[in-house]
Structure formats: structure tokens, C-alpha cells
Chain A
């Protein structure tokens, strides 16, 4: 009994910010200012109109495009690298080592590197450093290892080259893992906060940077802030809801090692 209650309360607390976000996004201004947030009920779409005026959709489209491109690149480079490791290239320790390097602490040296490469304040600063991820390599290699060797051997006897093996056999078999890895890669890039602010400049503002700016501009407009939060979160929630089972399974499988 206590067990169920514990789970129920935790689940409610975890869900609360999301529920509140979805509720508060539609609160009219006058209710926010009167402070009767929970006692009076009102519904409006006006908050979203303010977002449009502030240029939200442009930032949203930009973030979607950049994070999607990064996701594609990470999956592509990791898929190839995982294959090379499976084919006997002994570089797994290299990726595991890099996995342990805390990306967040690279802020300063990465800034210096991007500066000397003349990538600072360009859109490439948001893309190139994320074109490969040791974590995704690790995840894909784990899944590739579990594919029976006989399957590949049989295809090789039929004269299949690397390209055919990769695209006709490994790719379809690994699709669930690729999807899960894609969701994780997309989320990681979408959620970068300080990094894009520092390296990408005004012109290439991502949704997350735009959100922190909005919070400074409208520090007390709960409705507008919540509408922005909801709209910026929704793409990820939707992707996650569709692929949730695969994500959880892949993470658990990856953790078992």
C-alpha cells in the first residue's frame, strides 16, 4: 500500500511542472496580474500571439533544423564507427575515454578552438563539434555486437560488400536502437543552454537561448513564459511519447553492458 502511494506521489510531483506548464500557457493576462492564478478560471490563446510577435517560430524552426542535422550526423558517423569496431578495429577504449570527458568543462578550450578556426558566431559552431558523439558510438556498437555473426557471414558469401551489409542488413536490424539513439542525441543538442549563447552569437540564437532572453524580458508574465515553455517542450515530448519504449529499453540494455 505504502509502495503504491510512494510511486503515486512521486509520479505526481514529477508530472506537476508539465501539467502546470500546459495549464498556465492558456491563462489570460488579467488573471495573472490579479494573482488569482488558481482560483479563477480563464482560457486564452493570446499568449501564443505574443510569442509569434517576439519571433518564437523562427527560433523554433532554426533549432529544429540544427538539432535534426546534428542528430543525423551523429547517427551516421557513429553507425560507421560502430561497424569499424565490429570489424575488428580496436578503438573502443578511445571512445570510452572520450565518454568520460565532461563536455561541459570544455567551454573555455572549445571557445578558443572555434575562435582560431574562425567558426565563432557562425552556425557551424552549433553543428561541427556535435557531428560525432562517443555515447552514440557506444550505444550503437552495443546493439551491433548482439547481431549474430552468421547473418553477416551468409551475406558475405553471397558477395555482399560493406555498403550492402550496412544498408541492407545492419541498418534495418538496428532501426530500434538508431531511433532511440536519435531521440537521445536530439534532446541533448536541443537542451544546450550556455554553449550556444557563448559560441553562436545573436544571429544563430537557439530556442533555449531565446527562452532565457524572454524570461529576462517578461519576468512576471506567467502566461507568456508558460506558453513559450510549452511550445519549446512539445516537439521533444511528442517524439518521446512515440518512441518511449525503445528509448527506455535501449538505455537499460546499454546500462547492462
Chain B
């Protein structure tokens, strides 16, 4: 009998010219994502303005961050923002997906919900700004608009609402895709056994939705820790730095105050935070199963 392992081995390692087709994508991504991703560690040990020659400072940037009151304030702001946005995001996505499931208008409404995240950012913020500006905004004529230009809480609410508006459609698609994968027969069987709708939801639908919810929480954390575009466009971190989330603080430090080395160190910290949050959530939810 011929040794099968040697042919198998050769087949596994046989060169296929089609494999070369991956080179353009892999080359570009290695250069413009992987390399910068690794390089940020090196930058974070520099004192560097982008214009001047970089100066090696070791861990000085990290030491400074630990003593930086503005950094801690922006970390707190980010956590507030997450505490407001994340539960609302998940609950809204689940409720909408459930409400839409099997309705005649499911498709058009889903399409509409997905639209804000896809279609526009700059345009959308202009529209929000002109609608919700306190005193002069279009809605201010009809209903009193809280002074989000002066009160930190309402500024955060505005950014949260905007973020929900942009991303809830994606959340609905995630939950919906999962919902459709639940076998009808399971729910029918429960109905035959005399389960109420609430019981069926609690003991069948919800547990089966768990992977989708985990996914949303992880995605949501990543989005929340890194979101700064909405802040940049709507409030510019104000009032009084009350909406200066970590991502925006990073931008300000690097590209308005031109401390790129310091900003790189913040990037590293945000990355570590993101990864540990996402990891912890994935673990916790899996253990709960």
C-alpha cells in the first residue's frame, strides 16, 4: 500500500497560481492597516508633532496620560456615553426586529432604518443641527428643545440619539437575521403545549437570540469607544468638554494640538480598552448560557 500521507501532504502544499490573486488585497492591507496597527506602539514612545523630527521619550507619554486630568475626564465621558447608548441600542434593535418580523411592511421599514447609517454623515449632522438647534432650530418653534449647547447632559443625549439613529438599522438586521433562523416548529410546539406568547419569548426566542445580542454588545462597545465623528460634527466636544469622548480627545490631541506621539499613546490605551471590553462581554454572555 502506498503511503497516503505523502500524497496528501503534496496535495496540501501544491502550488496553485490562483493563490497569487490574493496578493493585491493582502499587500495593500498589510501596508495600510497591519503595519500602522503595529507601528502605533513605536509612535507612542515619541515626542512628535508631525512636522518636527521625532524624539525618543520611552514611556513618558504613558506616564503623562496617567496624570492627565483631561484624559480621565474623557474616559468618564466615554463610559457615560456607553452606559446611555449601549442598552438603548440593543433593546431598540431587539424590539424593532420583533415588531417587524413577518409584517407586510417589514422590508420597506428595514430599508428605511438602515438608510441613515449608510447614506450620510456630514449631510445628516447638518440636518440634525438645523432641526435641533436650541432657540433657532426648526423644532424649537414647536417644542422646547433642551439647551444641549449649554448643558452637558443634553449634549450627551443628542449625541446618543444621533448614534442610535445612525446604527439601529444595522442592529435590527443582525437580530432579524437571527430571528429568521429560529425554526417555526419550535414555537408551534410550544403553543401546542399551552405556552403563552410571553413564555415562548422568554424561554425560546430570547435564549436563541443570545448570540445576536452578544454580537451587538461587542460591536456597540467598539463603536462607542471609537466614535468621534458625531461628536466632531455636532458638539465639537462641548459644552465644557462634556462630550469629549476618548476618540475625540485623541483627534484633538493629535491634530489640533499636534502632539502625535501623545495621541498614539492614547490610541494604544483605547485599543487595549476596546479589546478587553469586547472580550469580557463575549465571555460573560457565553458563561450565562
B4, chain A: closest CB distance, angstroms? 19
A226→B126 contact, CB < 8 A = yes
Tell me what chain A mostly uses at the interface: helix, strand, loop, or mixed. Answer: helix
> Which chain B positions have C-beta within 8 A of A89?
16, 18-19, 22
> Which chain A positions have C-beta within 8 A of B28?
77, 128-129, 131-132
Give bound CA distance, A249 to B18, whole Å.
Answer: 29
B174 close to A (CB within 8 Å): yes
A97, chain B: closest CB distance, angstroms? 8
| Highest count of chain A CB atoms <10 Å: which of B116, B129, B180, B254 | B129
> Which chain B positions have C-beta within 8 A of A16?
131
A228→B123 contact, CB < 8 A = yes
Task: Write the chain A residue with the least CB distance to B275.
Answer: A100
Task: Pick from A10, A80, A107, A162: contact of B24, CB below 8 A.
Answer: A80
A255→B173 contact, CB < 8 A = yes
> Which chain A positions have C-beta within 8 A of B247?
104-105
Task: Pick from B19, B25, B170: contact of A78, CB below 8 A.
Answer: B25
B122→A226 contact, CB < 8 A = no
B18→A193 contact, CB < 8 A = no
A108 with B254: in contact, given A21-B123, A84-B19, A252-B176 (CB under 8 Å)?
yes
A139 close to B (CB within 8 Å): no
Interface residues of A in 201-252 (CB under 8 A from B): 207-208, 211-212, 215, 220, 222, 225-226, 228-230, 232-233, 236-237, 240, 244-245, 247-248, 251-252
Give bound CA distance, A139 to B209, whole Å.
Answer: 23
Task: Write the chain A residue with the least CB distance to B259.
Answer: A108
B59 close to A (CB within 8 Å): no
Give bound CA distance, A194 to B226, whole Å.
Answer: 13
> Which chain B positions have C-beta within 8 A of A85?
22
B129→A84 contact, CB < 8 A = no
A209, chain B: closest CB distance, angstroms? 8
B17→A237 contact, CB < 8 A = no
A200 close to B (CB within 8 Å): no
A185, chain B: closest CB distance, angstroms? 11
5 contacts between A and B (CB under 8 A): A17-B128, A24-B138, A77-B25, A80-B24, A112-B36
Number of interface residues of B (CB under 8 A): 85
B113 close to A (CB within 8 Å): yes
Interface residues of B in 167-181 (CB under 8 A from A): 168-170, 173-174, 176-178, 180-181
A107 with B19: in contact, given A37-B141, A211-B126, A233-B119 (CB under 8 Å)?
no
B118→A187 contact, CB < 8 A = yes
A245 with B141: in contact, given A106-B37, A108-B43, A233-B124 (CB under 8 Å)?
no
Give bound CA distance, A203 to B176, whole Å.
Answer: 44
A35→B136 contact, CB < 8 A = yes
A98 close to B (CB within 8 Å): yes
A66 close to B (CB within 8 Å): no
A169 close to B (CB within 8 Å): no
Other 12 A-B pairs with CB < 8 A, given A89-B19, A198-B255? A20-B131, A38-B138, A85-B22, A87-B16, A88-B16, A108-B254, A132-B24, A162-B17, A193-B121, A229-B123, A252-B177, A253-B177
Task: Write the chain A residue with the least CB distance to B16.
Answer: A87
B22→A84 contact, CB < 8 A = yes
Give bound CA distance, A133 to B72, whole Å.
Answer: 34
Interface residues of B in 147-180 (CB under 8 A from A): 165, 168-170, 173-174, 176-178, 180
B26→A91 contact, CB < 8 A = yes
0/1 string, A19-54, CB within 8 A of B gives 1: 011001000000000011111000000000000000
Binds A, one of B187-195, B200-208, B228-236: B228-236
> Which chain B positions have C-beta within 8 A of A94?
26, 29
0/1 string, B127-143, CB within 8 A of A gives 1: 11111000010100110
B145 close to A (CB within 8 Å): no
Task: Pick from B25, B37, B124: contact of A17, CB below 8 A.
Answer: B124
